[in-house]
Amino acid sequence: MDSVLPFSFFSEFDINLFKTGKHYRLYEKFGSHITTVDGVEGTYFSVWAPSAKSVSVIGDFNHWVEGKHQLYVRWDESGIWEGFIPNIGKGSVYKYKIHSNHNDIKTEKADPYARRCEHPPKTASVVWEDSYNWEDVTWMKKRKKHNALDAPYSIYEVHLGSWKKKIEENRSLSYIELSDELVSYVKEMQFTHVELMPVMEYPYDPSWGYQITGYFAPTSRFGYPEEFKVLIDKLHQNDIGIILDWVPSHFPEDSHGLGCFDGTCLYEHPDKKKGYHPDWKSLIFNYGRNEVKSFLISNAIFWLDQYHADGLRVDAVASMLFLDYSRENGEWEPNIYGGRENLEAITFMKELNEEVYRSFPDTQTIAEESTSFPMVSKPTYLGGLGFGMKWMMGWMHDTLQYFAKEPIYRKHHQNDLTFSMTYAFTENFMLPLSHDEVVHGKSSIIGRMPGDEWQQFANLRLLYTYMFTHPGANLLFMGAELGQREEWNFQNSLDWYILQYTYHSGIQKIIKDLNVLYKKHPALYQQQFSTSGFEWISYDDHENSVIAYIRKGIKEKDDLIIVCNFTPVPRTNYRIGLPGKGELIPLFNSDATIYGGSGTSNQKEIMIEVKKWHYRKYSAEITIPPLAAVVFKINN
């Protein structure tokens, strides 16, 4: 052993928390930490490898030779190996060489807790620390109101590698470049939040970041960790929240990753029926192992704590919830009660959400969950999973299916459109038009719209207006706001050049204005997850394919009236029932000429009559433009 000193960051209390699955700040202990021991500066290393007979730190400082810097195993049967190596500092490249007691296997592993990783395809860890001085104190003090469930939530989903590229250099933008260009664009477009597809280090570009090997390191593809902090800081300084995609559902089998870490199934479940994902050819975490649970919850807390993230969108929740997910009979085993639910994963998710909201009550967790599993976004004390919000996959599927139909047939399928309101308030739903809807041959969003070019874009404007006025928060994947015709390709930049064309620039303009409308009017967000925030006026005019509804604020004066026409036939002298007397004032029209529409519109003030209609005492006659939605306000 050469120049390794016995040293520890762990107290007996830390070890007890780790063993019981209750240590949620493991990143402060595990990994590589620059420190000083007896007046000598160096780096403390610690790693969990309970089945190892020896663990060596190998790296550029010892020519990658095993045994020169061998760590000490703790006496307390925690399985932790640790030690202090003098004169090793920031920028040193390293891995752990683990000699297993299990079949004499030897592995070379990246540090699970590394703060920085080498640029792929290189796979080693890098000793790193930064003393970044955050300048988002104003945001952090007031973000509770921005991230609250009664606040506007309009999210722009982004894949950093393909949002915009330096064409002449054939490269993606850096974190620093994004902190200028992406931030200014999102601010101009009036989105409230950005959601980043996974930025944790990943080896394989076509995975889009969903196959993670460096859970505590922002990918080095775009710069250093502190440069990623600059991007987040700039978003916050411009009153834009940031949601990070987080993947606790599975991890890849790459030799330097978490799989078979110490020669055994350490992080993954040893039973392939629970530990291997057949769809993604990846490994599934062992949620019943306390140390793994601590690793995952610590990782979630890390991004909220060290990177000031405003929330986590948790990927593939359904795959964690169910033992039979994507498995045939005989490929899974029931739980102890004979059911298909993964009880250990459910417990993990509840503990995750409890700790997130305990430590960071001004953030949100959002579940990407595609089934009817109950109470995903209800508090754990009521028996729920404890997420703040859940993606409304049913709305997305039914709505896109409806819009793909030729308008002449829509009268037979109006229930596809209105069905979402039968369950809209069973969860705190977020309406997603995400990256998953514009890949793998599904076509772009505009590509699904029927009709000629004018009708396609009118349909798209109608879809977006319906989405923004439907109860719930909103998420739109990059490129959708341009009306991009091509499917998303992670290797290419968005087709920014199409903005020279009127219809495409009109789509960009309407998204901006919808964001303004959404943020300006409390009726669209104050009660977006409550039955108190919505009321039908008419949902049964199948023949004309028209629906009308009220979005309600806490104050009656804030209520909005929304009327949608899903056919290319303008509806003139169309009477709707109304909740009160006064004048009907048009606020928004998706058919406006500034968006590329026909310009069919209403007069600036429409007198409300005392005439019963739609079971209401008051009503008015309006014009509904072709393939359009109109938003009104009542002026009493």
- Give catalytic residue positions: 315, 368
Chain position carrying tokens 């290319």: 568
CA of 250: how far to CAs of 31, 163, 286, in Å? 21, 26, 10
* DSSP conformational letter for 609: B
Q: How many angstroms separate the CA atoms of 32 and 43, rounded?
A: 6
For residue 356, count other CB atoms closer than 10 A to its CB.
23
CA of 75: how far to CAs of 15, 50, 132, 141, in Å? 11, 11, 36, 44
Contacts 24+ apart (CB under 8 A), 375-382: 375/427, 376/317, 376/427, 377/427, 377/428, 377/429, 378/427, 380/350, 380/353, 380/354
SS3 content of the chain, % helix, strand, coil (to 5): 30, 25, 45
Q: Which alpha helices (DSSP H) does 2-147 contain, by range? A: 12-19, 137-147
Amino acid at 335: N
- Torsion (CA) 397, 399, 403, 408 in degrees, nearest 10: 110
- Torsion (CA) 619, 625, 630, 632 in degrees, nearest 10: -40
- Tell me if residue 503 falls in helix, strand or coil: helix
How many CA atoms does the CB half-sphere of 344 hold within 13 Å? 18
Amino acid at 525: Y
